[in-house]
Amino acid sequence: MFLPSMEFALDASMLTLEAQQVITLRVMKMSLGGAVAQREANLMVSEKMFASAEAVLGAAGGRSMHSALRKVRRKVRANRRRLIRT
């Protein structure tokens, strides 16, 4: 019982850190302005809309909170890698 709770807490803490890194990288990229900033803003909005719909469908399908959290972490880490490369 204790171990799954600790694993969830660690995943939630890491998501917080990783999301903050993505926010920082996105703000830096968007501060450049121009077409690059517009593409990033469009991507950010479309990702949020898709993630919201996916979360609702996952909850309706009985997905656990930890499963949803892990999926979000994967996407946030992918964004971080993409933003670091560009």
- pLDDT level of residue 1 (50, 70, 90 thresholds): low
The reported pTM is 0.86
Domain ranges (residues) in the chain: 2-85
Asked if the model's pLDDT at residue 55 lies above 90, the reply is no
Q: Where are the beta strands (DSSP E) in the chain?
A: none
In this prediction, what percent of the chain has a pLDDT beyond 90? 73
Distance of CA 41 to the CA centre of its chain: 15
